[in-house]
Chain A
Amino acid sequence: MHLKKITLSLVAAAVATVFAGCQATAAKHEGAAAPTKMASAQMAMTPSGPPPLAPLGDAPIPPDNKLTPAKVELGKLLFFDPRVGGDASTGCSTCHEPEQGWAWAEDFSRGYPGTVHWRNSQSIINSAYFPRQFWAGSASSNEKQAKSAAKGGVAGNGEDDIMEARLALIPEYRKRFKEVFGTEWPIIDDVWHAIAAFERTMNTTGEHEVPLDKYLKGDKGALSEEQVRGMALFNGKAGCINCHNGELTSDTDYHNIGVPPNKRWEEDGLAQITFRFEQYAKGQTEEGYRNAKSDWGFYYRSKNKWDKGKFRTAPLRYIAYTAPYMHNGVFYTLEEVVDFYNRGGFDEEGRTTLFPETKSSLIKPLGLSDQEKEDLVAFLEAFSGPEIEMEKPEQPPYAPLFTMADLKAAQEAK
């Protein structure tokens, strides 16, 4: 049992808010001080403009969680094991389904049973490259991300003690944790280490390299003519490169591009429940909780009003498999996304963000012709290569820890 489950009074929540705000600021400095090597190199090459698109290199591996084949294999088992969660029904792969782009193909992700999520499920593919994870960057590593996903009330809803207890009763896990981490019993923090190690291997490199990266490495045949024209628009007239740039196709910064709130919040009672819960969970003030009618995004971390409605620039590799798009999944096709940008951040009904005052000045009507829009969509398709498939591993079974003889002897000794 854990304290998080006891609702803070709103006053206490407001205090917590200030605290969370400090943390976020500190974390932001951290992020800014350590850009990826590649990105800083490019920054130096083009001091005036945004860094150009560059092929994806190797995923950064933190020194305190080295990759070994045994650890990655263990992480894979855990990623696919729903017993890492509250009622043993909802594990990582439940919402990051390999056949749905390692994400979930609905606007809002499916939730823990009895709930629905309030954001779109992100693909785990290439997630390891990001200094901060989640749509609004609330986790600072794959390790921390995994922990909060497994425990969050509308995600895994698991508690450390029960998850650790389960693993201890699965002989296969005892053996593997001992091999990999040297502990007698599986320790919950090592679950996050192993899962993160597995995720760091789930990238669009090697055999899963995307056409764009082949092209950028010199294979001029990798893109069609149409795609090459689209690339010119991406880098020029359409201005996508301003934010989707460098090795990650993302500046890893936060912007309000005008995505409108998902209408499901007006129509779906279950979604309304989660919406209000998230205001609590993310440390809103009483006023914020009462008034919020859309996802405030990066604001929940920074608590600066100019950050309302900002989200992390989403990476573009592998998106052919991860529809729908945006933090709330309001667009189902890349055509819709391009139309949205072409209108200057409005959907087809003219809806936009509830925070026009924080909207990026980089987002304005683009005046693209139909042909140009097609070319741009064609280019967006070049960010995806072969689908990353994986057979789901079998769940290792439970087994009793003691024998009847052990128990009888203990009974006799009482």
Chain B
Amino acid sequence: MGARVTTGRTLLAAVMGFGVALSAQAAEYPDIGPLPQLKIDKAKAELGKRLFFDKRLSGDAAVSCATCHVPEKGYASEEALSPGYPGNGHFRNASSLVNVAHRKVWNWDGRIGTNLNDMTREMLTEDYTMNMDMRIMQERVKQDPLYVKMFKDAGYGEPSNGSVRKAIPEYLKTLTSANAPFDTGKMSASAKRGMKLFKGKAGCIQCHNGPMMTDQKAHNTGVPENFDVFMDPMNHQAFIAFTMFQGIPNYMNLKRDPGYFNVTLLNEDMGKFLTPSLREVKYSAPYMHNGMIKTLAGVVDFYNQGGGKDSNKSKLLKPLKLSGKEKKDLVAFLEALSGDKLTSDKHVWKQPYPSEYEAIANWTEVRN
């Protein structure tokens, strides 16, 4: 699927073109601020919600999207490395999905730059996430009378794999920040001081800017490798399958996550990852593409020492010389970016799914 990479490459390049002219002064970065409202089709989103929590959308009906994107954990996973589809592990941290619809580029390495429909397809079909033959998925959905009704009510007509990939993104649009002190103006004094540092002395704004607090560009911050990717064969096999499929040279000997290199195949992009959003970050520990940093205080320490060790590291990262108090303030600000947990049934499908597929009555008489 070379086409997927090319799409990612082209679009990401376009997004990146944006920031180039901006100077290094904080004032000139797109300001952090409230997120724009998204228009949501209720019936479609409701359908997407039921699909998101339904294990029958994976090949062996053992995992749903929510297995790795856990509502309680900011729609991320509490493990450093995401769980995998049964029989596999994973080589990256499961991204938080809160506000994901506000992004233009997805995955830690930015390999998808089209839309959430493609992103959903990737999650459904990839061997080590859901390993779903979407033709089987479509027939499973058609076998569930409630889905048949919900697809109809949503205006999709007969259930199809195409409308599954539309309904889930509609649901993802509902996962947006609510009542974060940062948005409601109810930040503590410490958080307010932290915000000042964020925009000033600590220089976070250089990359974490705009309403989503991300430039959606790739940077190398020198996060150390998570050796569990390679020492646990379950994770390593997923990593090998991924790099093999992506056409990364010498993938059997690779001992690091290539990151954005995967998109451009340029050496200068080795070890770069997309700047993540910082909204709702309180809930989605551990942090970074491989979960190597356990707490927000740990992240701040990491930046305070100028990031990690990598010859390719971003020039924007330097030791910050923050005092103990300043570090606390910065953490308080990061925490103030998180609002209500999205764990009520407004966002979570809590009704049980049928344990068996009902047979279609009069099967010989009705059209398939």
Contacts and interface: CB of A to CB of B under 8 A. Distances in A.
Question: Do the two shown chains form a genuine complex with each other?
Answer: yes
A18 B133 CA distance: 23
A269 B359 contact: yes
Interface stretch (A37-45, A212-220, A319-327, A405-413): A405-413
Contacts of A289: 368
A1 B2 CA distance: 11
6 contacts: A164-B241, A164-B244, A290-B368, A401-B236, A402-B230, A404-B231
Interface string B75-93: 0000000000111100000
Contacts of B230: 400-402, 407
Interface in A149-208: 153-154, 157-159, 161-162, 164-166, 168-169, 185
A276 B128 CA distance: 26
A265 B358 CA distance: 12
Given A157-B59, A273-B140, A411-B225, A293 B86 contact: no
A379 interface: no
B60 A113 contact: yes
Contacts of A290: 367-368
A68 to B, nearest CB: 26
Count class of interface residues, chain A: 35 or more
Interface string A5-28: 111000000000000000000000
Interface in A308-344: none
B238 interface: yes
B245 A161 contact: yes
Contacts of A4: 133
A292 interface: yes
B121 A6 contact: yes
A276 B139 contact: yes
B87 A89 contact: yes
A410 B357 contact: no
Nearest to B61: A114
A407 B122 contact: no
A162 B128 contact: yes
Contact of A161 (B127, B224, B312, B359): B127
Given A114-B59, A162-B241, A414-B312, 12 more contacts: A1-B122, A7-B135, A87-B62, A87-B85, A161-B244, A169-B240, A279-B368, A292-B368, A293-B363, A293-B364, A400-B231, A401-B236
A6 B245 contact: no
Contacts of B149: none
Contacts of A88: 86-88
Interface in B191-234: 222, 224-225, 227, 230-234
A373 to B, nearest CB: 31
Nearest to B162: A7
Interface string B114-150: 0000000110111110011111101110110000000
A154 B60 contact: no
A280 interface: yes
Interface string B271-292: 1000000000000000000000
Contacts of B225: 407, 410-411
A398 B255 contact: no
A78 to B, nearest CB: 16
B16 interface: no
A87 B60 contact: yes
B127 A153 contact: no
Nearest to B271: A414
A153 B126 contact: no
B256 interface: yes
Interface residues of B, number: 66
B357 A277 contact: no
In order of increasing CB-CB distance, the 7 nearest A-B pairs are A269-B357, A88-B87, A114-B61, A153-B133, A165-B240, A113-B60, A410-B255
Interface centre among A1, A115, A268 (most CB of B within 10 A): A1
A200 to B, nearest CB: 29
Nearest to B367: A290
A127 B233 CA distance: 35
A246 interface: no
Main secondary structure of the interface of B (DSSP, over half): loop
Interface centre among A159, A269, A281 (most CB of B within 10 A): A269
Contacts of A110: none
Given A5-B134, A162-B237, A407-B227, A87 B359 contact: no
Contacts of B139: 273-274, 276-277, 280
B40 interface: no
Interface centre among A161, A165, A268, A400 (most CB of B within 10 A): A165
B345 interface: no
Interface centre among A161, A399, A407 (most CB of B within 10 A): A161
A75 interface: no
A268 B244 contact: no
A270 interface: yes
Interface string B53-83: 0001011111000000000000000000000
A83 B136 CA distance: 21
A401 to B, nearest CB: 7
B126 A1 contact: yes
Contact of B56 (A112, A114, A185, A266): A114
B179 interface: no
B34 to A, nearest CB: 37
A272 interface: yes
Contacts of B133: 4-5, 153, 157, 277
B350 interface: no
Contacts of A401: 230, 233, 236, 252
A291 B312 CA distance: 61
Interface string A85-103: 0111100000000000000
B363 A86 contact: no
Contact of B60 (A114, A168, A404, A407): A114
Interface string B15-33: 0000000000000000000
A169 B233 contact: yes
B61 A113 contact: yes
A3 interface: yes
B327 to A, nearest CB: 26
B359 A266 contact: yes
A244 B252 CA distance: 51
Contacts of A166: 233, 237
A1 B245 contact: yes
Given A266-B359, A272-B363, A3 B135 contact: no
A348 interface: no
